[in-house]
């Protein structure tokens, strides 16, 4: 019969929080890199988006800064989820919810498979953070 291991007891839901934190770090880093790309886009690339952007008709800098700021917040929050910081869990819940809602708009496009994957990952993050992220630490 195997001897029980001695060590620090694991808190309930640690695996879900690690999963949610990793997904948030990856999503935040990707958004940050996309923002940096938009800030350094050439004039030829900027011309392809002329008249198609929501806040700026001919300048990617606005979206670049939005992506850099939001990406940095989600990245830092993803790292802070590992420490069960309540503000980071709240940011993660909000980010996953908004991303899942926005992914629904892609379901009727040729990119529907990617939208389903994003929605699935967001639902798993929402489950992990809402079930175990806001729970008392002494569990």
Q: Kindly list the distances between the CA atom of residue 103 and the CA atoms of 43, 114, 137, in Å, as whole numbers in the listed order.
A: 29, 9, 32
Position 61 scores a pLDDT of 81
Q: Are 46 and 61 in contact (CB under 8 A)?
A: no
Tokens standing for residue 73: 């917040």
The pLDDT-based confidence of 116 (bands split at 50, 70, 90) is: very high
Does pLDDT of 6 surpass 70?
Answer: no
User: Given a cut of 60, is residue 47 above it in pLDDT?
Assistant: yes
pTM for the complete prediction? 0.77
Of the two residues 18 and 11, the one the predictor is more confident about is: 18
Would you state the pLDDT for residue 114?
Answer: 86
What is the predicted pLDDT for the residue at 46? 66
Q: Measure CA 27 to chain center.
A: 4
> Cα–Cα distance between 96 and 133 in angstroms, integer?
14
pLDDT tens-place string over residues 61-110: 888 898 899 999 999 999 999 888 899 999 999 999 998 898 888 888 88
**pLDDT digit string, tens, across residues 26-37:** 999 998 998 898
Taking only the tens place, the pLDDT of each residue in 63-74 is 889 889 999 999
């Amino acid at each position: 019969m195997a001897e029980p291991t001695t060590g620090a007891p694991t808190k309930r839901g640690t695996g879900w929080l690690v999963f949610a934190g990793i997904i948030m770090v990856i999503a935040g880093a990707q958004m940050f890199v996309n923002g940096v790309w938009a800030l350094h886009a050439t004039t030829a690339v900027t011309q392809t988006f002329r008249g198609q952007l929501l806040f700026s008709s001919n300048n990617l800098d606005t979206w670049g800064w939005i992506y850099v700021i939001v990406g940095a917040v989600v990245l830092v929050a993803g790292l802070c989820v590992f420490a069960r910081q309540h503000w980071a869990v709240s940011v993660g819940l909000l980010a996953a919810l908004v991303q899942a809602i926005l992914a629904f708009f892609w379901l009727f496009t040729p990119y529907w498979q990617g939208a389903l994957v994003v929605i699935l990952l967001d639902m798993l993050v929402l489950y992990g953070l809402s079930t175990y992220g806001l729970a008392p630490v002494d569990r």
